[in-house]
């Protein structure tokens, strides 16, 4: 039995080597497929670069400034706008009362002074500590939810380093998609430009980064 195994082993090794070499020379090898799939994506990115990138995460403990609700509000978001104007990203917010909201970012507005408004289509909301039909939970009538729900908030990156002032964020305002679309389409005199700075508060922990 041992002699049989000894004869078979060299044959198996040769067969594996031939198969390995065949894969290396084949145009359908894993590396070749990866190159084919990656090249178009890299080319598309080169022709449509990111012109504005905003991301951040952290929390704010209220009451503070315009945030009168006691407790800790947490946030996490990322958004990118490309040269052709398309914006993608996602946001997750949780209020001190336990209300959680997810949103798909679809536009941003540069309000000047380092203030960036982020507008998202609402995807999911969970009022953990309030009844589902409470208008106070989101500020949007039940008839408008969930298919016609949007939210927006403003952030400011105040720099990096231990000596930099705290980054800032406003509370999230819940509204309808129609109103949010109007914010996306607003021109130079954006309705939030003079309003948002009054509602910005310092974050207690975390970081907000704006690159453009």
Residues 123-148: tens digit of each pLDDT: 766 554 444 444 444 445 444 555 77
Residues 91-110: tens digit of each pLDDT: 999 888 777 888 999 999 99
Task: Answer for the pair 105, 93: CB distance below 8 angstroms, yes or no.
Answer: no
Kindly report the three-state secondary structure assignment for every residue of 141-175. Answer: CHHHCCCCEEEEEEEECCCCCCCCCCCEECCCEEE
Q: Mean pLDDT lowest for which of 13-22, 103-112, 149-158?
A: 13-22
Partners of 174 in the β-ladder: 151
DSSP states of 23-38 as a string?
A: HHH-TTSHHHHHHHHH
Mean local confidence (pLDDT), 41-70:
84
This model's pTM is above 0.85:
no
Residue 64: the pLDDT is: 87
């Amino acid at each position: 039995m041992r002699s049989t195994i000894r004869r078979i082993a060299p044959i198996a090794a040769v067969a594996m080597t031939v198969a390995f070499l065949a894969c290396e020379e084949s145009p359908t090898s894993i590396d070749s497929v990866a190159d084919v799939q990656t090249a178009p994506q890299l080319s598309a990115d080169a022709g449509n670069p990111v012109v504005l990138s905003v991301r951040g995460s952290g929390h704010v403990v209220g009451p503070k400034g315009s945030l009168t609700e006691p407790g800790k509000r947490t946030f996490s978001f990322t958004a990118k706008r490309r040269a052709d104007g398309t914006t993608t990203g996602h946001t997750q917010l949780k209020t001190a009362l336990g209300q959680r909201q997810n949103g798909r970012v679809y536009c941003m507005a540069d309000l000047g002074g380092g203030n960036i408004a982020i507008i998202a289509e609402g995807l999911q909301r969970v009022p953990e500590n309030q009844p589902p039909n409470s208008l106070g939970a989101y500020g949007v009538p039940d008839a408008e939810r969930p298919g016609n729900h949007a939210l927006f908030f403003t952030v400011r990156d105040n720099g990096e380093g231990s000596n930099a002032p705290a980054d800032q964020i406003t509370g999230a305002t819940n509204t309808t998609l129609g109103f949010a679309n109007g914010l996306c389409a607003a021109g130079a005199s954006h309705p939030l430009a003079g309003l948002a700075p009054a509602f910005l508060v310092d974050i207690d922990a975390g970081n907000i980064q704006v690159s453009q």
